[in-house]
Amino acid sequence: MKILAIGDQFIRAAVMETGLEELQAAGFRIVVREWKHANIEELQRDNLRIEQGGSASVELPPELYADLASFDALIVQFAPVPAAVIESAKALKFIAVLRSGTENIDLKAASARNIAVLNTPGRNARAVAEFALGLMLAETRNIARTHEALRQGRWLKDFPNSGTGIPELYRKTVGLVGFGQVARLLSGYLTAFGCQVIVHDPWYRGDVAGILSTDLDTLLRRSDIVSVHARYSEETHGLIGEAQFNLMKRTAILVNTARSGLVDQHALVKALRERRIQGAAIDVFDEEPIPGEDGILRLDNITLTPHLAGSTKDAFENSPRLFASNLLSWIREKSTLPIVNGVPLESLL
């Protein structure tokens, strides 16, 4: 079986080759190419365009897919796979995405051609969970803003949350919107801090023993911290907007390390400016990099990071290896594959 793998600025060709060695040893023929960008910022800008505009919104260099008709499978991370590319792939049996989100794949076109689309859930779950916890601490304890103040020669002791008393995480209620692998790891970290964790995820069917599962409105009303971890889709676009901010405590903070589209950014800026909520910590934005004139940069009650949550060396290097292990486990033991479009995958060897 012949597989084309497309690396990028985060998973370089050499890392892709190393990560897929187990498949090569099992008899698969692997061809690796790389979608090149001048820097990571350019790749993230393209990825945001794809996330917001669909798989056809960014065109790849034609040489990357020039002979796709000769391949049986395709592995990508951020590289878009629009309908036109899928139509040219006459022998394709599956498309694998080395991350959880599949916004860069035209799922409808793949399903119409009976091509299975696989993702790699949990590949950077630990990285994002750790980062989300870090953002909670940074915003509640004013870590980032005091660092910047010291750099400017100011010994800052007065903060947006000073009036209500700077809180600790201990005994606070943290609401997790979405309970996938990131949120499940994070809930363990928060429990160790002595937090009460509550969750909202109408699609989660696993065990939430010891954690209250509730509706979104109740979660928003009760939580001292709301952390967003839902899967982005048409149904979840704008999940947290003005109406939801109006339900939250005035002392609450919002954390988003998932997708910008899950939170109405304009409503967030308004809620923070009007002190409708106390603060926020945000890693994902409607436009990246953030334009200099964006009002979100003028707020004093927010911690901002440039889309870093899942970007660890460990997460990227592990992604091809994790996918290869999942696929070989399915081949050898008939374990479950993470197929996102419901198209069954037949035997490959």
Question: Structure pTM?
Answer: 0.85
Residue 142: pLDDT band with limits 50, 70, 90:
very high
For residue range 108-137, what is the model confidence (pLDDT) as tens digits? 999 999 999 999 988 999 999 999 999 999
Cβ–Cβ under 8 Å, residues 278 and 299: no
Distance CA 85, CA 119 (A): 18
CB-CB contact of 185 with 126 (8 Å): yes
What whole-number distance in Å separates Cα of residue 160 and Cα of residue 302? 9
Per-residue pLDDT for 295 more than 70? yes
Identical fold for domains 2-123+312-333 and 125-304, yes or no, is: yes
Tokens of 215: 């509706």
Whose structure tokens read 């020669």? 153
Fold classified for 125-304: Rossmann fold (3.40.50)
User: How far from 136 is each of 129, 131, 228, 262, CA to CA, in Å?
Assistant: 11, 9, 12, 18
User: Which of 44-53, 76-85, 170-179 has the least mean pLDDT?
Assistant: 44-53
Cα 69 from Cα 51, distance rounded (Å): 26
Q: With b meaning 16 or more CB within 10 Å and e meaning fewer, what string describes 240-272?
A: bbeebbebbbebbbbbbbbbbbbbbbebbbebb
Average pLDDT, the chain: 95
Largest Cα–Cα distance of the chain, in whole Å?
A: 65
Residue 334 — very low, low, confident or very high, per pLDDT cuts 50/70/90?
Answer: confident
Give me the pLDDT at residue 196, please: 97
Burial class (CB in 10 A: 0-12, 13-18, 19+), 166: exposed
The whole-number pLDDT of residue 208 equals: 77
On the question of pLDDT at 347 being above 70, the answer is no
DSSP H or E stretch at residue 327: helix 313-333
* Percent share of the chain, pLDDT over 90: 89
Active site residues: 259, 288, 307
Which pLDDT score, from 0 to 100, does residue 292 have? 96
Continuous segment of H or E residues that includes residue 176: strand 173-177
Helix (H, G, I), strand (E, B) or coil at 141: coil
CA distance 135 to 145: 12
Which residues does residue 228 pair with via DSSP β-bridges, in sequence order? 177, 256
Which residues fall within 8 angstroms of residue 118, CB to CB, at 6 or more apart? 94, 95, 96, 97, 323, 326, 327, 337, 338, 339, 340, 345
The 10s digit of each residue's pLDDT in 10-40 is: 999 999 999 999 999 999 999 999 999 999 9
Q: How big is the chain by its Cα radius of gyration, in Å?
A: 21
| pLDDT of 203 | 86
- 71: which 2 tokens? 């391949």
Does residue 204 surpass a pLDDT of 90?
Answer: no
With cut-offs at 50, 70 and 90, classify the pLDDT of residue 349: low
- All structural domains of the chain with their residue ranges: 2-123+312-333, 125-304
Assign domain 2-123+312-333 to its CATH superfamily: NAD(P)-binding Rossmann-like Domain (3.40.50.720)
